[in-house]
Amino acid sequence: MESLDEQDPQLEQLEPVKRKKEKRPPGRPKGSKTESIRVGYLAIRCPKCGSSERGAYFGSTKRTRLEGTFNGEAYNEIVTRRARCKCGQVRIEKSYELI
């Protein structure tokens, strides 16, 4: 039995098609998020009712670039967010993140 190359001489003449690679701009793609690792946060209870439950965060989130350690873990950013307790009291939560 003959192989495919011996049956059809045109197969030897064909070369694989080379695709051109699309040039990408340098840097991260638009819309990609910065990944951060939450090192720790302070568990805050409501000063009014003592509950640790909260609603969604609201208002602006403040990010402060500051290096240090929290419970032995290195961080380089402190994030503060406002949240409202189920009783209506507003509190500010801090978390320490490594970016």
pLDDT at 3: 55
Q: Provide the residue-wise pLDDT of the chain in tens; the chain has 99 residues.
A: 555 555 555 556 666 777 777 887 788 778 877 777 778 877 788 888 998 888 898 988 888 888 888 888 888 888 899 999 989 999 988 888 888
Tell me the whole-structure pTM to 2 decimals.
Answer: 0.56
State the Cα–Cα distance between residues 83 and 92, nearest whole angstrom: 6
Tokens of 58: 């609201």
What is the residue extent of each domain of the chain? Answer: 58-99
Q: State the pLDDT at residue 14.
A: 61
Name the 3-class secondary structure at 7. Answer: helix
Reference 46, options 87, 2, 16; nearest CA is 87
Enclosing H/E stretch for 66: strand 57-70
Contacts of 99 (CB under 8 A, 6+ apart): 34, 35, 36, 37, 76, 77
Tokens encoding 10: 């045109």
pLDDT at position 7, please? 59
Sequence-distant (6+) residues with CB within 8 A of 5 are 11, 12
Q: What is the pLDDT of residue 27?
A: 81
Q: Which pLDDT value is given to residue 32?
A: 79
> What is the reported pLDDT for 8?
59
pLDDT of 89 reads 92
